[in-house]
Structure 1
Amino acid sequence: MLTEKEPRSRKARSTEQILGVDDDKLDAIYRRILTAVMEHRLVPGTKLVEEKLAGVFKVNRTQIRKVLARLTHEGIVTTIPNRGAYIASPSVHDARHIFQARRIMEPALIRTLVERADKDDFRRLHAHIAKERAARDKGDKHAVIRLSGEFHLLIAEMVGSPPLTKLMRELASLTCLIILLFDSPNVPACPNHEHTEIVELMQRGDLTAAVAAAITHLDHIEATLDLSLPEDTEVDLSAIFG
């Protein structure tokens, strides 16, 4: 009696087999590039050469393109046809909108976290602030910049909403680029003591004061930047070269 052949079972392929590298490795590359941005080691306008990055991270150019595409989608990288990918250079207009977005988003994150935070959560926040303080004491400027940005990201992560965490990561990275472009020399854009004040107010359950402190903190960061240029400044070449 003829029997119908059973379909040949197909081995499930892992992401690593399909892409040639696992998702964790792509994410690690993405995070290392973001960290370099947040530490001001990759400055606005830096060209990200695919071949060089592939060699550094020991992957192929296809994987690097995937990471760059993700960074481009988030606004951290600008891709110019026939020229390549560059670290973004946010404009004054961009900067104002980013701070506006943070003033809307961060109070909501604080309100949500205060409602659900426990002692361990506050220990994590204080431990992070201690790392910031230690980096300042050592004069490790790159670590200070990165840790200051990661403080705000940590609050988003503790809320436990992946979309909000993703958005906060983008905003924090773009803020680092903005600080690099528009910061006044020798002015600490994100003072450590203001983070401490925010956490202590949250821990006391003083929600109104904690939100007010967070907004004041963002106002202070923006105030240290030179965003006085007109929105669409046209360079007078005749005046420069005439």
Structure 2
Amino acid sequence: MYDPRNFGNDLPATLELDMPTQPGRKAAARTRLQRDSTHDEIYERIYVAILEHRLHPGTKLAEERLAEIFDVSRARIREVLARLAHEQIVELVPQRGAYVAKPTIEQARDVFEARRLIEPAVLRRLIATLTPEKLARLSQHNDLEVDARQREDNRAVVRLSGEFHSLAAELAGNSALARSMRELSVLTCLMIVLYDAPTATSCRADEHSQIIDAIAKRDAARAERLMLEHLDHIQSSMKLEGASDEVDLEEIFRR
């Protein structure tokens, strides 16, 4: 006769081992979360260092050195570098290693051509789906940029200026546009360093404010025109030559 008290007593030992306990599942989930958090943190720190011009185009990103700095394995660093390479922020050179991307003149032109096609579409979609919350986020971000300019914090100005365009794409609600805009923004930051475009003229203080004003008034035509003029100013401020100095990776990522 079946006795429910004996249920599971006759299970094979191997089957019992294949059934993870609740604490075991939680521990595995925590490990995955920690791994993902570490990966994302390292990615963001390298990404921001590039945006803030602390890592210049052509800088070598030595796996062993980065592993020491972030206290992780070289395999973890390799994963992060592969992700950055997928986004064209880093170049992986066989037998030589990883380097911060160094866009050519032709690539620079391609980036601006892409931005002139994408950003008007971003603005149209953002205006069509505009909410008070979205407008507030844009305004708050612009306030941070204005504050950074007043403090003459050039690194923050460069980072926040690039992030403004990524934020607009994110708020527009199209994930594909947001991914593309993030990549194009960081490539533009690299080009500003590479071709010695002065921040004061490449990203003028009032242009983002004017774009936000047009968005707030739902004036898509004006917003698009202002954005295209903004991109013209950035591109026209770039020179055809630039140089990258050797850098101390540990100094850049010092906590």
Residue 114 of structure 2 is matched in structure 1 by 101
Q: Return 5+ residue gaps in structure 2 as ranges.
A: 2-7, 242-255
Letter in 1 for 2:93: I
Correspondent of 1:143 among 156, 160, 175: 156
Q: Name which of 92, 102, 111 aligns with 1:89.
A: 102
In the TM superposition, residue 102 of structure 1 has moved relative to its aligned partner by 0.7
| Gapped regions of structure 1 (runs ≥ 5) | 229-242
Secondary structure of residue in 1 paired with 2:99:
strand
How many Å separate the matches in 2 of 1:107 and 1:79?
32
Match of 2:61 in 1: 48
- Equivalent residue in structure 2 for 1:37, among 40, 50, 63: 50
Q: 1:199 to 1:86 in 2, by over 3 A?
A: same
Which residue is 2:91 aligned to?
A: 78
Of residues 176, 181, 185, the one that matches 1:163 is: 176
Letter of the 1:175 partner, please give it: T
Matches within 5 A, 1:65-214: 65-185=78-198, 187-214=200-227
Q: Which amino acid aligns with 2:221?
A: T
User: Which residue identity does 2:168 align to in structure 1?
Assistant: I
Most deviating of 153-162 and 183-192: 183-192
Match of residue 225 from structure 1:
238
TM-score (norm 1): 0.86
Q: Is the 8 A contact 1:53 1:64 kept in 2?
A: yes
What letter matches 2:224 in structure 1? V
Q: CA deviation at 1:223?
A: 0.8
Q: Percent identity?
A: 43
* Rg (Cα) greater in structure: 2
1:49-102: CA deviation from partner (whole Å, max 9, x where unpaired): 111211222211111000000111111111111211111110000000001111
Contact 2:142 2:164 in 1 (8 A): yes
Cα 1:10/1:43, change in 2 over 3 Å: farther
CA spacing shift, 1:196–1:113, aligned 2, 3 Å? same
CA shift for structure 1 position 186: 6.7
Q: What is the Cα deviation at residue 42 of structure 1?
A: 0.1
CA deviation digits over 1:83-137, x for unaligned, max 9?
1111111000000000111111111111111011111211111111111111111
Query: Where do residues 231-242 of structure 1 align in structure 2 (5 Å cutoff)?
Result: none
Aligned residue identity for 1:144: V
Paired AA for residue 220 in structure 2: L
Question: For residue 92 of structure 2, what is the amino acid of its counterpart?
Answer: T
